[in-house]
Amino acid sequence: MKRVYILVVLNIIVGACTWAFNETLTVMDTVEMIKLRLHGVQTLHTETLDILVRDRCERGRPCRCVALVHGLGDNNKTWGNALLATPKGVRVYAPNMPGTEGSQRPDSPAGWKIPAQSNVLQSVLSGVEGCPSWTVAGNSLGGWTASWLALHWPEGVQKLVLVNSAGLTDSTGSSDLAAKTLASPTIESLKKFTKLAFHQERSIPERVWPDVLGRILRRGTYEIASAITQEDFLDGRLGALKMPVTILWGKSDGVIPLAQAAHFKSEIEHASVVIVENCGHLPQKECPAALIAEIY
């Protein structure tokens, strides 16, 4: 009988190891969520968006509210470092934007447009009790969305942090190429994209790439990229922003070039610019300390 128990345990261990090997991203997600849960991060399900929330506000004390907006093909777990670093007196919302994971998919092509996505975000944030105004940080296409939110809802955005942001015309063509890559990705194009996105090259096992590809395809990247038209671009609009704005850029970004930071600054004269050395397109993952200092 003892031998039978040992064989059963061994079979369970072998099965678990096989599952972990074949489902690497799922295991990583599970470990990440356990870590976030242990630090008080909860999942909020609204009618439209699924949101990671960390609330460190205390009853009867002032509370700052922060919203973190992910980019094209990404999801809200990209902000894990920022959620873990939430200081006392701060409430953080990190939504999955429309069409990503559990968030509602738009029911028409117009619903995928960036201003429409910012409207969905506004409807959620404006209904949060105790949060009449927000610090909003957005990475890449999330910065584009956050900018539209600030333009449409200036009374609700007290500070804007644009992190390697898209949204302005890019004469180099790099931004358009990145959008096309994520809209119709292949494993080979994603490998090239990843090399451009990070300062320090990431080692990703070959077995993981099909899962990476599948996840991006399920996040509405094609629908969002197809919905973008010239009227969605921010050129000539950002001068209307009156709240404090920080433009933060990973200097090694090969997805949206560093020159775009200066382009944003030319549109928002009062903005401050922070250039982060040894950092690429995703500062929230590669150099979180610099970004966290600007958000909180």
Phi then psi for residue 90, to 5 deg, are: -130, 140
For tokens 């090969």, name the residue: 254
How many whole angstroms separate alpha carbon 81 and alpha carbon 79? Answer: 6
Contacts of 65 (CB under 8 A, 6+ apart): 90, 91, 92, 93, 125, 128, 130, 131, 133, 134, 135
How many whole angstroms separate alpha carbon 131 and alpha carbon 253? Answer: 33
Beta pairing partners, 44? 51
Per-residue pLDDT at 6 exceeds 70 = no
Per-residue pLDDT at 150 exceeds 80 = yes
Task: Note the pLDDT tens digit of each residue in 230-275.
Answer: 999 999 999 999 999 999 999 999 999 999 999 999 999 999 999 9
Cα Rg of the chain, angstroms: 20
Task: Note the pLDDT tens digit of each residue in 204-233.
Answer: 999 999 999 999 999 999 999 999 999 999
Burial 36-57 (b: 16+ CB within 10 A, else e): beeeebeeeeeebbbbbbbbeb
Per-residue pLDDT at 12 exceeds 60 = no
* Tally of CB atoms within 10 A around 183: 19
Instruction: Kindly list the strands in the beta sheet with 272-276, ordered across the sheet, starting from the edge strand earlier in the chain.
Output: 42-45, 50-55, 90-95, 64-69, 134-139, 157-163, 245-250, 272-276
pLDDT at 197: 97
Closest CA to 77 of 128, 139, 162, 146: 139
pTM score over 0.75: yes
pLDDT at 1: 55
Task: Note the pLDDT tens digit of each residue in 35-82.
Answer: 999 999 999 999 999 999 999 999 889 899 999 999 999 999 999 999
Task: Note the pLDDT tens digit of each residue in 15-32.
Answer: 333 333 445 778 889 999
Average pLDDT, the chain: 92
pLDDT at 2: 53
Task: Note the pLDDT tens digit of each residue in 164-193.
Answer: 999 999 999 999 999 999 999 999 999 999
